[in-house]
Amino acid sequence: MGINLGDTFPNFVADTTEGTIKFHDWLGDSWGILCSHPADYTPVCTTELGCMAKLVPEFQKRKVKMIALSVDSVQDHHGWSQDINAFIEQPPVQKLPFPIIADEKRELAVQLGMIDPAERNKEGLPLTARAVFVIGPDKKLKLSILYPATTGRNFNEILRVIDSLQLTACKKVATPVNWKAGEECMVLPNIPAEEAAKLFPKGIRTEKLPSSKSYLRFTPQP
Could you give the residue numbers annotated as active site? 45, 138
By the rule CB under 6 A, 128 interacts with ligand BEZ: no
How is 17-63 classified by DSSP, letter by letter? BTEEEEHHHHHTTSEEEEEEES-SS-HHHHHHHHHHHHTHHHHHHTT
| Closer residue to ligand BEZ in complex, CB, 130/217 | 130
| Closer residue to ligand BEZ in complex, CB, 64/127 | 127
- Site residues (CB under 6 A) for ligand BEZ, limited to 183-222: none
Q: How far is the CB of 148 from ligand BEZ (least distance, A)?
A: 8
Interface with ligand BEZ (CB under 6 A), residue from 32, 38, 50, 126: 38
Q: How far is the CB of 71 from ligand BEZ (least distance, A)?
A: 10
- Site residues (CB under 6 A) for ligand BEZ, limited to 47-106: none
Which residues 6+ apart lie within 8 Å of 181 measured at CB? Answer: 160, 163, 167, 221
Q: How far is the CB of 214 from ligand BEZ (least distance, A)?
A: 48
Coil, helix or strand at residue 204: coil
Nearest to 208 by CA among 221, 193, 218, 196: 218
Nearest to 161 by CA among 64, 96, 70, 67: 64
By the rule CB under 6 A, 127 interacts with ligand BEZ: yes
Q: How far is the CB of 76 from ligand BEZ (least distance, A)?
A: 14
- Size (the chain), residues: 222
> Identity (one letter) of the amino acid at 125?
L
Show the CA angle centred on residue 74, arms to residues 109 and 31, nearest 5°: 60
By the rule CB under 6 A, 124 interacts with ligand BEZ: no
Q: For residues 52 and 153, what is the distance between their CA atoms, to the nearest angstrom?
A: 10
Q: How far is the CB of 61 from ligand BEZ (least distance, A)?
A: 27
Interface with ligand BEZ (CB under 6 A), residue from 119, 147, 165, 168: 119
By the rule CB under 6 A, 45 interacts with ligand BEZ: yes
By the rule CB under 6 A, 42 interacts with ligand BEZ: yes
Which residues 6+ apart lie within 8 Å of 15 measured at CB? Answer: 74, 101, 102
Q: Which residues are near ligand BEZ by CB under 6 A?
A: 38-39, 42-45, 119, 127, 149-150
